[in-house]
Amino acid sequence: MRLNEALELVKFSYGNHSKNTPSSKRPRVKVIDYNYPGRVGQKTYGQRRDLLGWNISYYSNKRYARKAVDEIHSFSKLLGADNKELYSRVKYFFPEQAALLRRYKKSKISNLKRKGAIGLWRKTNYGELMKLNKESF
């Protein structure tokens, strides 16, 4: 079992990025959900399993953004909160970051990497990430 309370930080090449936003071409994302079905009421709800997370590439002080989201996540996990509650807490305590929540189509993601324990990026896949997510507490 891993002793890690932080959300996994990943980066990847995204083929469905906005042409107006260069930082969305290779985002760095704190992942909340690896199989996000969407919101109830969306026309694609339940049809896709996307990656959901905070794109910290948009934030000017990335270190602060990562630490703030991880602290809120740790406290939420301590309380036994689900992802919806985590989002509500981030929205309340760190409103600038709440606006940067993004949903990514897995079919448009390539070159997936995660930040390792010593700060180096290493290639990964969804299976490994989901396993790490389950092992974290």
Euclidean distance between CA atoms 44 and 98, whole angstroms: 22
Question: Is 16 within the bounds of a domain?
Answer: yes
Question: Is 75 within the bounds of a domain?
Answer: yes
pLDDT for res 12 = 93
The pTM (predicted TM-score) of the whole model is 0.79
In tens, the pLDDT along 57-88 reads 888 888 888 888 888 888 888 888 887 788 78
Euclidean distance between CA atoms 129 and 113, whole angstroms: 10
Question: Is 2 within the bounds of a domain?
Answer: no
Average pLDDT over residues 1-23: 72
In total, how many domains does the chain have?
A: 1
pLDDT for res 137 = 45
Closest CA to 113 of 19, 8, 6: 8
Question: Is 4 within the bounds of a domain?
Answer: no
User: pLDDT averaged over the chain?
Assistant: 81
Q: Kind and range of the H or E element at 78? A: helix 62-78
Domain that holds residue 116: 9-135
